[in-house]
Amino acid sequence: MRTRKIGSLEVSVVGLGCNNFGGRIDYDASAAVVHAALDAGVTFFDTADIYGGTKSEEFLGRALGARRTEVVVATKFGMQVDAERKGAKPDYVHRALDDSLRRLGTDHVDLFQLHAPDPETPIADTLGALGECVAAGKALEVGCSNFTVAQLRDAEAARSDPPAHFVSVQNEFSLLRRRAERDVLPECERAGLAFLPYFPLASGVLTGKYRRGQPPPPGTRLSGVKADEGPLADASLAAVERLTEFAARHGRSTVELAIAWIAAHPPVASVIAGATSPEQVHANVAAADWVLDDEEMIEIDELVPPPATA
């Protein structure tokens, strides 16, 4: 599989998002997903302390076992675990990392990410604590998530002791949620940041399993959403139909198109798609070798127009 860089880290262009572990699927199913990903050449695994009520990290660490050294493990902190465990104050940065290391069963995290900005803590203070984590060898690189351009620039300008800087930002991005093209993606190119997209399949809408005028299939992520509401609005599903036709003309699936299109954007390091079964892993990884050319990207823009510039 093709690889790209997140700071000093080398990762597979298709990664695995572990947000389903401990929530939608149990340990055995999670392990099956992890093993399928390893066998398919996936080397980037992204989780967070809050996923699965902290079970995701535990499941991932157990499933990797002795193969931990073969992969890049990323986790996140800062969103509320409970009344005490939240935010990005320096003391909590260290506690959150130690908790994650214990659950993952490892002595270091390759990429340690602030899950969301903490308005109560100066970013320089957080970066200082993260720098201490790097200096101690407990984290190799640090990144952030859900940051705006202004927040990224504040972090870039901050002076921390010891010095630390973000090498990546993880924000929402998909064919149906293209706002990042207007702001954060250009900022990543300017600042040399790796971009990690979450919800690359728009919470499953881009799998093609949802149909206009029909209730969501039972057991799916959006099974509680009414037809023609929210992510299942007719306009979105009509766009998916157009994209499905495009993919079919190329002998590909809608999932492969959704992932290949994201990977075609230069700042993107790895498309971290979730999975609840080995079959979904294989469907995601099938996109790894599809490199869309300029003409194809223009045609996709005609099918699903990009956001208007500010």
Return the CATH number at 286: 3.20.20.100
Whether residue 246 lies inside any domain: the answer is: yes
Residue 262's domain spans which residues?
A: 3-303
Element holding 34 (H helix, E strand): helix 27-39
Dihedral of CA atoms 156, 160, 163, 169 in degrees, nearest 10, equals -40
Q: Is residue 122 part of a domain?
A: yes
The per-residue DSSP string of 119-150 comes to: TTS-HHHHHHHHHHHHHTTSEEEEEEES--HH
Mean pLDDT estimate for the chain: 94
> Angle of helix 278-285 relative to helix 254-263, nearest 10 degrees?
50
Residue-wise pLDDT for 138-166, tens only, equals 999 999 999 999 999 999 999 999 999 99
Q: Which of 286, 284, 303, 207 is nearest to 251 (CA)?
A: 286
- Of 70, 73, 57, 66, whose CA–CA distance to 139 is shortest? 73
Torsion of CA 277, 177, 109, 115, to 10 degrees: -120
- The answer to whether residue 309 is domain-embedded is no
Q: What is the pLDDT of residue 229?
A: 60
Helix (H) or strand (E) run with residue 110 in it:
strand 109-114
Higher pLDDT, 212 or 69: 69
What mean pLDDT do residues 167-190 have?
Answer: 97
**Average pLDDT of the segment spanning 31-52:** 98
C-beta separation of 1 from 12 below 8 A = yes
For the ranges 143-152, 204-213, 216-225, the maximum mean pLDDT occurs at: 143-152
What does DSSP assign to residue 304? S
Compute the average pLDDT of residues 66-88.
96
* Active-site option among 27, 51, 92, 198: 51
- Please give the structure tokens belonging to residue 2: 């093709």
Residue 128 falls within a domain, yes or no?
A: yes
Residue 309 has pLDDT above 70, yes or no: no
Q: Which of 18-22, 50-54, 70-74, 218-222 has the lowest mean pLDDT?
A: 218-222
Phi-psi region of 4 (alpha: psi -120 to 50; beta: other; left: phi over 0): beta
pLDDT at 22: 97
Percentage of the chain beyond pLDDT 90 is 87
- Note whether residue 157 is domain-resident: yes
pLDDT at 231 (0 to 100): 74
Taking residues 89-107, report their average pLDDT. 98
Say whether 1 sits in a helix, a strand or coil: coil
Please give the pLDDT value at position 177.
94
CB-based contacts of 53-56 (< 8 A; 24+ apart in sequence):
53/22, 53/23, 54/22, 54/81, 54/99, 54/103, 55/21, 55/22, 55/23, 56/18, 56/19, 56/20, 56/21, 56/22, 56/23, 56/30
Q: Which own/partner contact pairs does 119-124 have at CB distance under 8 Å and 24+ positions apart?
A: 120/87, 120/89, 121/87, 121/88, 121/89, 121/90, 122/158, 123/151, 123/154, 123/155, 123/158, 124/158, 124/159, 124/160
Q: What tens digit of pLDDT does each residue of 229-284 get? A: 667 788 889 999 999 999 999 999 999 999 999 999 999 999 999 999 999 999 99
Q: Is residue 308 part of a domain?
A: no
Quick one: which of 192, 271, 226, 135 has its CA closest to 7?
Answer: 192
Paired tokens of 142: 């640090």
**75 closest CA partner among 120, 15, 160:** 15
Of the pLDDT bands very low, low, confident and very high (cuts 50, 70, 90), residue 225 is low
pLDDT of residue 227: 59
> Token pair for residue 230?
């929210």
286 assigned to some structural domain: yes
Per-residue pLDDT, 214: 74
Q: Average pLDDT of 52-58?
A: 97
Look at residue 310 and tell me whether its pLDDT is greater than 60.
Answer: no
Instruction: Let me know how long the chain is.
Output: 310
Report how many domains make up the chain: 1
- pLDDT bin (cut points 50, 70, 90) of residue 223 is low
* 210 in active site: no
Residue 220 lies in a domain: yes
Structure-block tokens of residue 157: 């300008």
